[in-house]
Structure 1
């Protein structure tokens, strides 16, 4: 799973949290308590004391129920700690209040995928792409559709990705047999996935063509090489 987007989003949210201005309607006492809790939260993060950081976020959430930033930050903390169930529930709670929260959409999609709830992860990847045009989310959408045996939808998403000019520039990581990680372009990854769709459909010529296209873009793409071997056996 690619966590780069989540990490960046969490850093942005944390920065916002550190410099947030409370609403003028808040009392001076509440403002002072918020400021103190934010300082303790930032210090807890510095010392990697996530338990204290989460506690302060809960206090900020309870004291500022209309400020969604605090819960978004808590949601990101859960996700980064590998607490996928907590992250998913928290993200879904946010989306009930604001279905355009990009942090919540991304965390919900990735945490639900990690939990194996692909049918619930998919609409969050789809919506994140629609709101941001993020090509990694489009790739994940295609992969979820393939995994859920929605092959025609997967092909449509793949073709959109292949046609996107930036798909040749943006990268995604794949594990290799030697336990290292290989970065390939999203376009090559999409063509490899296209080959997998056609392999599933027992369409040997189209599968081989798509996988060869992936290897034309990146000749050392290990997964595409392995898939091509399998495609030739069909």
Structure 2
């Protein structure tokens, strides 16, 4: 019998095959950490251009390891700047890490490419959160002009124990109302809250908001009448 000497290339091929089987098996059984370990081995064997870096970024993202998913996505986007999945991983990861300004920049790029209502809504929320109200107003208006996404919902807390799933478009109108209210544009705010309630009449937060803006408008009208009466009396 003759023995065949294996080359380093042969050994690398065998090792790669083994780790790729482990990745497939681990993901089948929802064992993300084992899959990640083998993906790292594959990347080490294949080098910097390994396509498994994309899979690694996705897996980190799926298990909520947003630091690692952001770092990988950021690296990969240097050569794959048009990759929507990587752009989304990067934006959402930054958002979950609380890096608001960086997340806004990432969502601006993402939304400009996708024109996706969900991406526009998240961008407007981030802008609204740091009081960039004019930008948020423009963004939510653009989001509302995007195609509606079927079965897309945003979760809102009703109280400490209950949440409510709200259609994305209704949530976007509610956000538009909040921004307008902050900008002292009560008429637009009331119209936006009403639109949200047309989509979902039981939307608790929009109901509270429309009641609040209605009271504000009534109080302003009463103050205006009192001021006019005072001027007339004088």
Q: In the TM superposition, what are the counterparts of 1:149-228 in structure 2 within 5 Å?
A: 149-164=131-146, 166-167=147-148, 169=150, 171-177=152-158, 179-228=161-210
Aligned to 2:61: 79
- The DSSP-based 3-state class of the residue aligned with 1:167 is coil
Once the two structures are superposed, the pairs formed by residues 107-186 of structure 1 within 5 Å of their partners are: 107-164=89-146, 166-167=147-148, 169=150, 171-177=152-158, 179-186=161-168
Q: Residue 104 of structure 1: CA displacement?
A: 2.1
Q: TM-score, normalised by structure 2?
A: 0.77
Alignment of 1:97 with 2:79, yes or no, is: yes
17, 20, 39: which is aligned to 1:57?
A: 39
Between 167-176 and 135-144, the greater mean CA deviation after superposition? 167-176
- Could you tell me how far 1:127 is from its partner in structure 2? 1.9
1:78/1:31 Cα in 2 relative to 1: closer, same or farther (>3 Å)? same
Counterpart Cα distance in 2 of 1:33 and 1:44:
16
Q: Distance in 2 between matches of 1:100 and 1:31?
A: 31
> Number of matched residues?
207
- Report the CA distance between 1:219 and its aligned residue: 0.7
Which structure has the larger Rg over C-alpha atoms?
2
**For the Cα contact (< 8 Å) 1:72–1:103, is it kept in 2?**
no
1:65 and 1:137, CA in 2 relative to 1: closer, same or farther beyond 3 A?
Answer: farther
Q: 1-side partners of 2:28 and 2:150: how far apart?
A: 34
Q: Is the 8 A contact 1:173 1:181 kept in 2?
A: no
Query: Contact 1:94/1:101 (CA < 8 Å) preserved in 2?
Result: no
SS of the residue corresponding to residue 192 of structure 2 reads: helix
Q: Which has the higher contact order (CA 8 A, sep 6+)?
A: 1
Alpha-carbon spacing, 1:88–1:168, altered in 2? closer, same or farther (3 Å): closer
- For structure 2, list consecutive stretches of 5 or more residues without a partner in the other structure: 1-8, 217-234
TM-align CA RMSD? 2.3
Deviation at 1:194, TM superposition (A): 0.5
In structure 2, C-alpha distance between the alignment counterparts of 1:187 and 1:110, rounded to whole Å: 20
TM-score (norm: length of structure 1):
0.77
Distance in 2 between residues matched to 1:129 and 1:64, nearest whole Å: 33
CA distance in 2, matches of 1:220, 1:124: 34
Offset, 1:34: 2.5
8 Å contact kept, 2:115–2:143 = no
